[in-house]
Amino acid sequence: MRDLAAGLGYLMKGQRWVARHPRSWGLGMVPALITLVGYVAALIALGWWTDDVIAWLTPFADDWGTPWLGLFRGALAVLFFGGCLLLALITFTAVTLLVGQPFYESLSERVDLAIDGHVPSSGLPLWRELLISARESTAVLVRVALWGTVLFASGFLPVIGQTAIPAIGFCVSGFFLTEELAAVALARRRVPLAERLRLLRSRKLLVLGFGVPLTLLFLVPLAAVIVMPGAVAGATLLARDLLGEPTSEDGPAPGEATAGTGGAGTGGTGAGAPHGPGGPTPYG
């Protein structure tokens, strides 16, 4: 339970951090707002055509009598739209981070700098970072799609399909949402996707404490736009926790060097330095 509380705590600390830096908050909402407009338009279109899609997928039920036809296709429509909404929650973060990559990188760096005066860097050019981010986000989306398919099929199970499965869906969303956000800080430390997933699985309660409340917030209209900058800041703190780095917000002022930061010192990281148990293999 302590990890659950810590995960929620990082989410709240991230929001407090951007509240103290209103310019960063304002700029950080722009990419999220642009992405949100596109997603709302897509979801409205999806909602409009969902009944037609379900009817096209289930021609065998055309001759069913009432109320069975309506109940069957209505349940499928809810599951279909819910699955698409789950996918949208995950892809929204990935697309927003891709659109606002330079800004969110800068925001995450400022959080690192405020804690120990040191900013880990991947040492890669921006175009290479964008390429790696797009490739790894695609790999995450494949995993999400597989989970979504399993959950969609499980939704037909009596009782648990309407109770446990939606709860599991929120946990899956929270896990991968956290991965996408923490990737901003972890990628700068050259921690590849496979190692990031291993780190997150090793602290599931911490990840869920951060990701599940954020997933619920993202369901509130416009909330995703408002909390996105703080979510990146909080995920940076969470990433530092996963790697055993200090997370106190009472660190040295930006620009102040401290003993044990930078290079291989305690709490410091050099570009490409290995992190975490087993030491991830840096991507080149």
User: The tokens 């709490």 sit on which residue?
Assistant: 267
CA 202 to centroid of chain Cα atoms: 17
d(CA 150, CA 256): 50
User: The tokens 């925001």 sit on which residue?
Assistant: 107
Task: Categorize the per-residue pLDDT at 250 as very low, low, confident or very high, splitting at 50, 70 and 90.
Answer: low
Tell me: pLDDT of 279 over 60.
Answer: no
d(CA 124, CA 113): 19
Find the distance separating the first CA and the last CA of the chain, reported in whole Å.
38
Q: What is the tens place of the pLDDT at every residue in 187-223?
A: 899 899 999 999 999 999 999 999 999 999 988 878 8
- How far from 106 is each of 54, 185, 204, 236, 270, CA to CA, in Å? 44, 10, 27, 11, 17
d(CA 40, CA 95): 14
Tell me: pLDDT of 175 over 90.
Answer: yes
Domains of the chain by residue range: 2-48+74-242
More confident residue, 129 or 113: 113
Assess contact for 209 and 3: CB atoms under 8 A: yes
Task: Categorize the per-residue pLDDT at 182 as very low, low, confident or very high, splitting at 50, 70 and 90.
Answer: very high
Tell me: pLDDT of 1 over 70.
Answer: yes
Q: What is the tens place of the pLDDT at every residue in 63-93?
A: 787 787 778 888 888 878 877 877 787 778 8
What is the average per-residue pLDDT within 15-36? Answer: 87
Count of alpha carbons within 13 angstroms of residue 232, beta-carbon side: 34
